[in-house]
Structure 1
């Protein structure tokens, strides 16, 4: 009885020999059908060239300095980081600059928060929307000793105050100018200042100015700071409905009495506000998977209940100044892609990409792979036919120029043909045809030996 060591050695030897035989057979097969294999690799290369590439691991996004855009951008950055994508936030002076980054086709920034009302420009080619993700109210704060506390101050009451309307080029400035023009007021009056928001907030708290325009989210540090300041009051837009009709990108919002602080009853009367929206815009070349990831982030971050919105209200295609991307259309109609519901982002994206890559490849490769056996058989038959042609040529020449003294030379030519048959792939793939060819060679060999068909020559 063989020892355990000998049995192990025998098994290892068998595995080695099996592997060697398979490799040898595989190499032999490749040599035979290499044109078909080359065609498959060529098709795969073409598919990879035209197919959707893997998503980038870094994306640049324009936000802002301070304000709600920066706060919101940090939340998106944390969401992307959990999915293995580095979202680089680029600080800017606001919506106008953000939009210019996207319009410039050479700019590496591919996503940005842009205020509604800032998007309608002449050349918006290459810029698409993923939808609106939040409300961005127009806040007009003023010092409480500026007016008689017995009246509810409206937007038209502050026209002659020393008021900051935001730096030129900012979203705040653009919205303030639009509102002033609707009221037939000049936006270049000397009482209208152009400080940045942070400086303006400091100035109104210190009494250096009377009022300030802010266009920002409810959670903005500047907005929260002024809401909580007991010396600052908030203007009501008593004609909010008129603004939403004249400037369609505005929505009407309301703050009920005590809506900011029930204990202190702040505000002490209902306040009407007008609000634009924060829109998530992209370069239309942004990878589809990253677009979906932005929408998923918006659903989780902005879809929660907030002060002005109900749960699930955002994201939504509310502002139609920029066209909605195809990925966003699918997302709003069908929801989250199935794979992304159950798998990590990178795996879901990889499987989806491979599916759309390999499905057409499989459709192309199947008939080619299926044709390999017949291809090998046809190749073998071609080898046989080649030898048949040589045999026919040999026989015709021999009949015409037969020389009995060269019989040995003739026999050797026939023997060489038979060796070619035995050495060819046809010997294994077209055995019956090979035997038929060898019988014909043997027939001519016998005829030469007996000189049957060459009688009289």
Structure 2
């Protein structure tokens, strides 16, 4: 009888221990999205752009800066479809920080154009970074010198709903044209420059910081031309769409023999209001206090003093706290 009772007691203890282990099994690790992992780390996924653009390599540098300066952050950069896709991924919780154009962030926050009826009031700004130059790339032999010359040509305008596509629509409109006046192709930057090199397309809209890797690659084998904008069309564009600004591609870039006048929007970093004030403050401070560690040519444009220029949407409280401490304010 005693032996039977002993076995019964052991069986009950074993069952109890298995039950407690099962209850505790879900506690290991942690949620992503800026939440703490099992070791207290904050996982931060930076949504960037295509591998041949500017966002992806710059995002990798930002991730390194965060990892080097914040002990509790585990950051990585992810290649994406860039601005529009990044806004949707942020909304869906697939990232914590994202690169985007200022115009696209404004469309997303206000539910306009490609975000019609889908206003994302959770999107908050961290700060602007550098000009995103609209480059209409073609070859010297194409005979395309101005925007009007694109009429009837095969032109890459980016994916429908992308930032590049919206820029192309705005610019064609100001010049009295629509997508119906060209043979539009929806290619990424790499395929656009390959298409120009192979003679499959005549020109491509590329909205990116200069120099852009894909365009540099093309210029290494082909004499290229960047379409110029006239002063009156620049003024007309900015008057109708204030998030544009006059810009210039310097002489020598891509082997250009003279500077080219064009327009730009701003690249910016955004996050969501789900991110904690303390974490966003620390990340904003780490990035803007370590711009000398940014191993990318765009690092020279990234400063705290200019980070609120053209933001256009509400700042995240964590970013605002940092810029308030620096005495930086929007105009």
Flag whether TM exceeds 0.5 (same fold): yes
**Structure 1 position 267, deviation (Å):** 2.4
> Secondary structure in 2 aligned to 1:124?
coil
Q: Structure 1: state its 5+ residue gaps.
A: 1-52, 337-457
Q: Secondary structure at the match of 2:210?
A: coil
Determine the structure 1 residue equivalent to 2:270.
Answer: 281
Query: 2:103 aligns to what SS in structure 1?
Result: coil
| Match of residue 254 from structure 1 | 248
Q: In structure 1, what is the Cα distance between the partners aligned to 2:137 and 2:291?
A: 28
Structure 2's unaligned 5+ residue stretches are 1-34, 112-118
Q: How far off its partner does 1:291 sit?
A: 1.3
**Does structure 1 residue 241 correspond to structure 2 residue 235?**
yes
Distance 1:216 1:112, change over 3 A: same
Match of 1:97 in 2: 85
TM, length-normalised to structure 2 = 0.73
State the secondary structure of the residue aligned to 1:117. helix
Identify the match of residue 269 of structure 1 among 258, 262, 281: 258
Could you tell me which of 50, 73, 85 is aligned with 1:65?
A: 50
Deviation at 1:217, TM superposition (A): 1.3
Aligned 1:121-270 pairs, distance under 5 A: 121=108, 122=111, 123-147=119-143, 153-189=145-181, 191-238=183-230, 239-256=233-250, 258-260=251-253, 266-270=255-259
Deviations for 1:228-272, whole angstroms, at most 9, x for unmatched residues? 44421111112323322221111211234x3437xxxx4233311
> Any conservation in 1 of the 2:130–2:302 contact (CA below 8 Å)?
no
Q: Report deviation, 1:189.
A: 4.4
Deviations along 1:83-118, whole A, 9 cap, x unmatched? 3321133332121111112233xx242211111211
The structure in which a higher percent of residues are helix is: 1
Asked if 1 retains the 8 angstrom alpha-carbon contact of 2:152 and 2:181, the reply is no
CA contact (8 A) 1:302 1:314 kept: no
Structure 1 pair 332–313 and aligned structure 2 pair: CA distance change class (3 A): closer
Contact (CA 8 Å) 1:133, 1:298: kept in 2 or not? no
Separation in structure 1 between the aligned mates of residue 242 and residue 167 of structure 2, nearest angstrom? 13
Tell me the distance in 2 between the aligned counterparts of 1:303 and 1:178: 36
1:269-308 superposed Cα distances (whole Å, 9 cap, x missing partner): 3311211111111011212233123323432338979579
SS of the counterpart of 1:327? Answer: helix
1:301 matches 2:291: yes
Distance across 1 between alignment mates of 2:78 and 2:137: 29
Asked whether 1:76 is paired with 2:62, we answer yes
Alignment-derived partner of residue 118 in structure 1: 104
Q: Distance in 1 between matches of 2:182 and 2:132?
A: 27
CA-to-partner distance for each residue in 1:423-449, whole Å, 9 max, x for gaps? xxxxxxxxxxxxxxxxxxxxxxxxxxx
| Aligned partners of 2:157 and 2:185 also within 8 Å | yes
For 2:17, the equivalent position in structure 1 comes to none
Using the TM superposition, give the Cα deviation of residue 177 of structure 1 relative to its aligned residue in structure 2, in angstroms: 1.7
CA pair 242-273 structure 1, distance change in 2 beyond 3 A: same
Structure number with larger C-alpha Rg: 1
TM (normalized to structure 1)? Answer: 0.54
| CA shift digits 1:401-439 (9 cap, x unpaired) | xxxxxxxxxxxxxxxxxxxxxxxxxxxxxxxxxxxxxxx
SS at match of 1:333: helix
4+ long deviations beyond 6 Å: 302-305
| RMSD value, Cα | 2.8
For residue 215 of structure 1, give the secondary structure of its aligned residue in structure 2: strand
Structure with the higher strand share, 1 or 2: 2
Listed as ranges, the matches of 1:343-422 within 5 Å are none
Q: Cα 1:178–1:294, aligned 2, differ >3 Å: closer, same or farther?
A: farther
Task: Tell me the secondary structure at the aligned position of residue 278 of structure 1.
Answer: strand
| Kept after mapping to 2: 8 A contact 1:163/1:213 | yes
Q: State the alpha-carbon separation in 2 of the partners of residues 141 and 195 from structure 1.
A: 13
SS of 1:58's equivalent?
Answer: strand
Mapped partners of 1:270, 1:124: distance in 2: 39
CA distance in 1, matches of 2:305, 2:209: 14
Aligned-partner Cα distance in 2 for 1:301–1:308:
6
